[in-house]
Amino acid sequence: MNHLINEVKKERPATLLPLPKKLKAVLFDMDGVLFDSMPGHAYAWAKVMTDYGLPMKPVDAFENEGRTGIGTISIFTQRYWGREATEEEARELYIRKTAVFNEYQAAHGGEAPEIPGAAAVLDKVREAGLLRMLVTGSAQQSLLSRLDRHYPGHFKPELMVTGDDVRYGKPNPEPYLMALQKAGISADEAVVVENAPLGVRAAVAAGITTIAVNTGPLDPQLLANEGAAVVLESMEELAKRLDYLPADPQIKTLDN
């Protein structure tokens, strides 16, 4: 019997998640974590920016994911035009990008599909008695109804930070700090789930333990370099590891 217990214990380290001891909330990014919307965004960014004489590849969109639209546009106008975009240029380009994104989605089933494993992760987090929060740079009006349709009952408007709430956006820690404030919790009571290097940077700068899920085409090392506590290959893998969460609170942390 003891032998068996030891065997089980030996297996556990591989499944451990580096979670804080006083965990109360899990903060979820949206694009690339809950919805597989990044291929559409990457297509739209690359097409529209290139049309405007700003050479951009789809992979560049993954590397810049998390920035506000204006932030991404400015990086490329600085690089190729040697100056910031004017407000009017940025607005026009962003409106065009949004239109191309919507066309792409319409041609691909109408709406970005769920990321496999995301529903299971949310259910396990709820079963563990933890808050679920959304922290996204997206500011779509339909966001809440879409979340409710796909992930019913998980997200409340008062526990969400969207692109409409923030001034700077990721990689600034602002959105994640705002989320902590909304929930009335401290950084060591939360964990973040992010897929983008700049999102990881923002969460780490807010002092929050960050789990990266590499759902896109980037080298996982980019996520580790930004300070992710662990880099997983999918939300399905995260769901599997969360099996240990409600069953045995003692193994919530790596350091006990």
Q: Give the footprint of Mg ion on this chain (CB under 5 A).
A: 29, 31-32, 195-196
Q: State the minimum distance, in angstroms, from the CB of residue 123 to Mg ion.
A: 20
- Of all residues in the shown chain, the one whose CB is closest to Mg ion is 32
Cis, peptide link before residue 171, omega less than 30° from 0: yes
Other beta carbons less than 10 A from residue 146's beta carbon: 16
Q: State the minimum distance, in angstroms, from the CB of residue 90 to Mg ion.
A: 21
For residues 29 and 174, which CB has a smaller minimum distance to Mg ion in the complex?
29
For residues 85 and 200, which CB has a smaller minimum distance to Mg ion in the complex?
200
Q: State the minimum distance, in angstroms, from the CB of residue 76 to Mg ion.
A: 19
Q: State the minimum distance, in angstroms, from the CB of residue 8 to Mg ion.
A: 35
Give the whole-angstrom CA distance, residue 229 versus residue 206.
Answer: 14
For residues 19 and 38, which CB has a smaller minimum distance to Mg ion in the complex?
38
For residues 64 and 195, which CB has a smaller minimum distance to Mg ion in the complex?
195
Strands 209-213 and 190-194, by their bridges, are: parallel
Q: State the minimum distance, in angstroms, from the CB of residue 199 to Mg ion.
A: 5
